[in-house]
Amino acid sequence: MTLKGDATHCGTNSKGEANPAVDKITFKSPRNIFVAGNTILLSNLPKTSEGISQNSDIHQGVVSFKLNPIQNAQGELQAVCVTDIQPAKKVVET
């Protein structure tokens, strides 16, 4: 998933910068991903996967976040805002 600023649909932060929204997303899995409730387990991840790097220059480490879909009056998706971005509470590396 890559992000872009979207002040129109997602507002701005306290510094006046556009809050993030989903720009691009892939449904391709780089390896094994298991989800149970609020827990996700990723295993056997490569350093890169079809142009997507797990070692981004923008974010270092693992984060948690919420997605907030924004629709217009006709119910059409306008944006997916990314909120509550924070370091993951528990990261176990093996």
pLDDT tens digits for range 35-94: 888 777 777 766 655 544 444 444 456 778 889 999 999 999 999 999 988 887 766 665
26 pLDDT more than 70: yes
Cβ proximity of 67 and 42 under 8 Å: no
Whether this model's pTM surpasses 0.75:
no
Does 41 map to a domain?
A: yes
Does 13 map to a domain?
A: yes
Helix (H) or strand (E) holding 65: strand 63-71
How many distinct structural domains can be found in the chain?
1
8 pLDDT more than 80: yes
Burial label, 21 (beta-carbon count in 10 A; 0-12, 13-18, 19+): buried
Does 92 map to a domain?
A: no
Structural domain harbouring 67: 2-87
**79 φ/ψ sector (left φ>0, alpha ψ -120 to 50, else beta):** beta
Mean pLDDT for 6-12 is: 95
And the tokens for 72?
């217009």
Q: Which amino acid is at 51?
A: G
